[in-house]
Structure formats: structure tokens, C-alpha cells
Structure 1
Amino acid sequence: MIHLEILGRVDQTTLPIALPLAAGEVRAGFPSPADDYLEQELDLVAHLIQHPSATFYMRAKGASMVRDGIYDGDLLIVDRSLDPKDGDVLVISVDGELTCKRLGKIGNLPHLLPANPSFQPIPLEGADCQVWGVVTHNVHALRRGVAR
């Protein structure tokens, strides 16, 4: 099971911080020469958060979503304004326990689906559920020792 830690809301009072965005694309396979110039600047908050007043951050705890690329300690960006759809990753309270799972169906019944075969799907039929929001982005460090 993934447990979640609430970190806070998006700070709408801070000024945007634009960071350089390199022109071109980077390939994840065979390397190609890098471009020698910057195309524009990018504000990550503006790029990642569509509804700031309805968005908050949470920290994932656990291993139930690893095959979806959500690892222990990752920062989740959660939007409360989105209507959950089949296939969305949700932050949801089920019978009073907060979890993060993908919404799906087994047969015709709604379930929360883990992304780790060591965990079982959670049936939603008859459960007391409250959707906290849809996970829109996941941020995790690739270098060890990077502050979280």
C-alpha cells in the first residue's frame, strides 16, 4: 500500500521562476550532439499546474505503484478540480485510509489498481470513498542524495 504525506498547497503569491529551456530534444537512446543555445525560459509551476487554487503536493510512501513510476518518497502533484476518469491515478480515502492507486475496472466493478503485483486491487463497491484528487505529475530524483 502507498501511504501519503500531505506537504501543502501551491503558493500562488510567489513570483514565477523562469529557468532556461534548451532548444531541441534530448534522446534517451543513442546520444546526439547537444544544441549550443537556449530557446526560451520555462516556469515549472506554470508548466505543471493547470489549476493552482485546486492543486496540492503530497509525498508518496510505499511500493504499490512502482510499475507506474511512483516510488517511495516521490513528490505527487494532485489536482482536486479534475473529475476522475478510468485510468487516472487518484489520491483517495478508502474506509478512512488514504492511498494512491489507478482507477480501473475488474469486470464491470470499479477498483483501485496497484502497479505492483505484490499488492491486490481494492474493490470500491460498498466502500466509503472520498476522492482527494487526480495525480497529474510525479517528481522524483534520479540522483541519490538530492534533497527532497
Structure 2
Amino acid sequence: MARVIAARGLHTGDIQSLIDIEARMTMRVPFASGNVPAGFPSPADDYMDRPLDFNELLIENPASTFAVRVAGESMTGVGIFPGDIAVVDRSRNPKDKSVVLALVDGGFTLKRYRKRGARVWLQAENPTYKDTEITEDMSFEIWGVVTNSIRML
């Protein structure tokens, strides 16, 4: 099961670490227009587009969005790796196949939400990990839908 560590670096599954999140100030960076295949902008491209605000790019609902750092390899099949930062929106309702941050029996996990009729399970995106069938005797809550992931190189 993939583990999720709160952005503030507290212990896996620590609910308080996800509640006590503080907002930071917005910063903008220059954004060069045009596409760059695998290099730098052409010196002939002197045109700069409006400044790029990563908050605007990554966050649709600021009041209900937070980020967590991912640990574990159960979601590598969809490009979410250990150390990545997952952007989670609590205002979105999960749909079948959404990637979600869920609280299962007191521990956080990042998985693909699956629903067929009354059956619900959390699907790993790595064949070496088992899916988690959600049963009535389990404590289960979806904390939000993952809208983006950020990889630090």
C-alpha cells in the first residue's frame, strides 16, 4: 500500500498533519511563449508571455486544496513516484477511476478509486501491489481527489 506523508513532514497517516496546513504566498515566474522540445528558448524568441503562477496552473479551488508528499511505489504505473507531491482537492467528488487520497482504517493511502454498483475498491497502479476491497467493517473516507502530481528532479 502506498503511504502518504504530509507536506509538513509528519508521520504517515497522521490526520492532524493534514489539518494543520498553512498557506504560503503566491509567486510568479516568467513564462516564455512557444514550445521547447528539449532545450532552451531560441534567442529569436524574445517574446515573453504573461507571468506563470503555479497556483493558477495547479489549483482550481484554493480553499479546499492541499499537497502531500508521496511515499511508496503502488502508483508508479500512472507516473506517481516516491517523493512526488500530489495536489489534492477536497471539493471534488471522486468518480470511478479518479486517483484519490483515502483514509482506510486510520492510515492514508493514494490509490485509484474504483466503483461498480455497490462494490468499492482502491486499485494500485503497480502489479506488485494488491488492490484494497472496501468492506462494511472497514473505516473508509475519501479525503480528496488528486488533480496533479509534481516531480522534483
5 Å matches for 1:112-131? 112-126=122-136, 127-131=138-142
Q: Which residue of 2 aligns with 1:54?
A: 64
Q: What code does the residue aligned with 1:123 have? A: E
Which blocks of at least 5 consecutive residues in structure 1 are unaligned? 143-148
Matches within 5 A, 1:30-109: 34=42, 35-105=45-115, 109=119
Q: Deviations over 1:16-75 (max 9, x none)?
A: 3221111112347xx897444312211101221111111111110000000111111111
**Cα distance, 1:7 vs structure 2:** 1.7
Residues 1:111 and 2:121 are matched in the alignment = yes
Number of residue pairs the alignment of both structures matches: 138
The 3 A distance-change label for structure 1 pair 59 and 69 is same
C-alpha distance after superposition, 1:83-128 (max 9, x if no partner): 1111111000112221000012468622111110000111113232
3-state SS of 1:102 partner: strand
84-93 or 119-128: bigger deviation: 119-128
For 1:10 and 1:48, locate their aligned partners in 2 and report how far apart those are by CA, in whole Å: 17
Inter-partner Cα distance in structure 2 for 1:53 and 1:105 = 27
Counterpart position of 2:146? 135
Instruction: With the length of structure 1 as denominator, give the TM-score of the two structures.
Output: 0.82
- Percent identical among aligned pairs is 36
Asked if the contact 1:113–1:121 (Cα under 8 Å) also holds between the matched residues in 2, the reply is yes
Unaligned regions of 5+ residues in structure 2, if any?
9-20
Q: How many Å separate the matches in 1 of 2:76 and 2:145?
A: 17
2-structure distance, mates of 1:131, 1:17: 30
Q: 1:32 to 1:76 in 2, by over 3 A?
A: closer
Q: What stretches of structure 1 move > 6 A for 4+ residues in a row? A: none
Kindly provide the amino acid, as one letter, of the partner of residue 11 in structure 1.
A
